[in-house]
Structure 1
Amino acid sequence: MRLMIADDHDLLRESLCHYLEGEGGFEISTASSLPGALRQMDGAAPYDLVLLDYCMPGMNGMNGLREAIEVNVGQPVALMSGTANRSVAQEALDAGAVGFLPKTIGARSLAHAIRFMAAGEVFVPVGFMTAEEEGETTRGDLSAREHQVLGGLCRGLSNKEIGRETELREVTVKLYVKTLCRKLGARNRTHAAMLARDAQIF
């Protein structure tokens, strides 16, 4: 598997490479900035997976992610970060990333996630995406996307149907549903729809 790891933290980058090379089956290129990664990607065969640090030089938020997706010609690109919150992770998924990896993830889980994403699947730790953030309110205070997904739940749509309507991937809709259930204190999607109607959100 051809893998590009772009991160400006030398120790982290080297540690990742050392572990993955020990696992076997990886041909790894590295860069310490987005421009450095793009130079290696440009004109080369697409990498099976490109893993970008969200805060390294040249990223400029999601613009760097979009550039890398374009240069890697249809092959998967994912973000990793030690500081970004789940809003950033969700924005990355919406922008076309195949996954988001918190840097707290264990080495073995990382290797599994990389193989999973290189196979064309979407990966993001569910616990990271559904954990309550400091200062977050639980009922109401929904984002525009959450309102769209909740509206679909209230109309009895499946995740696939909601995804088609909102132009989100099914796995992204599933994460939104989990977050909505937690924010609304709902046991499941049906209960979330019932609570939304009772609260006259819809």
Structure 2
Amino acid sequence: MKVLLIDDHPLFREGVALLLQPLVEGLQTWEAGSCEEAFDLLARRGSADLVLIDLGLPGITGLEGLTRLRQQHPELPVVVMSSSDDKDTVLAALDAGAMGFIPKSSTSQVMLGALRLILAKGIYLPPSVFLAARSAPTVSPPPAASPGVSAPPPARTPADLGLTPRQAEVLHLLLQGKPAKLIGRQLNLSLSTVKAHTSAVLRALNVTTRTQAVVAAGRMGLRFDEPASP
């Protein structure tokens, strides 16, 4: 398996390359300090199996590079690793085609778990980005919007979308990138039932893919009042 690391800090690349070794046996890592260098590597060596890309790159930005990678290599999973992990940045990366977003503040165990999930066709996001727990601390209301500026829409719940409690549980797990088989085991549901609930969830969000569901849920500020069943 070949992993391409795109980051302008050599020390960070070298550290991640070492931490990736337990991911699979015989792992090879290619390193590039810019998108331009990465494209050159891919042209000379052929396609990789996974790309990890930073967003704050010199020259072609990481977001632009991500878009270009998805256009030229649509089968290649690309994962963003960035120190900027605010909600808008994560959504922009997903819109550009990222299959996951790993904050640089994550532990090596979180990184490896996220990459295993992505390689299994799942989607990994920082858990705190979209899923607000009921126990979250109360915050002061935002200031009134300036004249001519629309206020952000209020947060919505799965019930507001017409979803049943079970469908909400499926959505909760979908947003964490869990595959259908794992959702079925976790909720004690058959695979066909999970697929039926997934279809209902996608219709409720007016999307057709899991990635679009993640983006849609994030943009509407979807809130889960209670965690999904263990």
Q: Quick one: which amino acid aligns to residue 142 of structure 1?
A: P
Aligned to 1:8: 8
Q: Which amino acid aligns with 2:43?
A: D
The equivalences for 1:7-156 within 5 A come to 7-21=7-21, 24-25=24-25, 26-42=27-43, 44-60=45-61, 62-130=63-131, 137=142, 141-142=152-153, 150=156, 154-156=160-162
Report % sequence identity.
25
Deviation at 1:64, TM superposition (A): 1.6
Q: Secondary structure at the match of 2:128?
A: helix
Shift of 1:161: 1.2
2:183 alignment counterpart = none
Gaps of 5+ in 2: 144-150, 164-199
Which residue identity lines up with residue 89 of structure 1 in the other structure? V
CA separation in 2, counterparts of 1:27 and 1:61? 22
Q: Please report the TM-score for the alignment, with normalisation by the length of structure 2.
A: 0.63
Indicate how the Cα distance of structure 1 residues 177 and 7 shifts in structure 2: closer, same or farther if over 3 A, else same. Answer: closer
Give SS of 2:218's match. Answer: helix
- Tell me the CA shift for residue 67 of structure 1: 0.6
Question: How much is the aligned-residue C-alpha RMSD, in angstroms?
Answer: 3.5
Aligned length: 178
> Distance in 2 between the 1:84 and 1:135 partners?
22
**What is the CA–CA distance in structure 1 between the aligned matches of 2:106 and 2:36, rounded to whole Å?**
26
Tell me the TM-score normalized by structure 1: 0.71
Q: What letter matches 1:74 in structure 2?
A: E
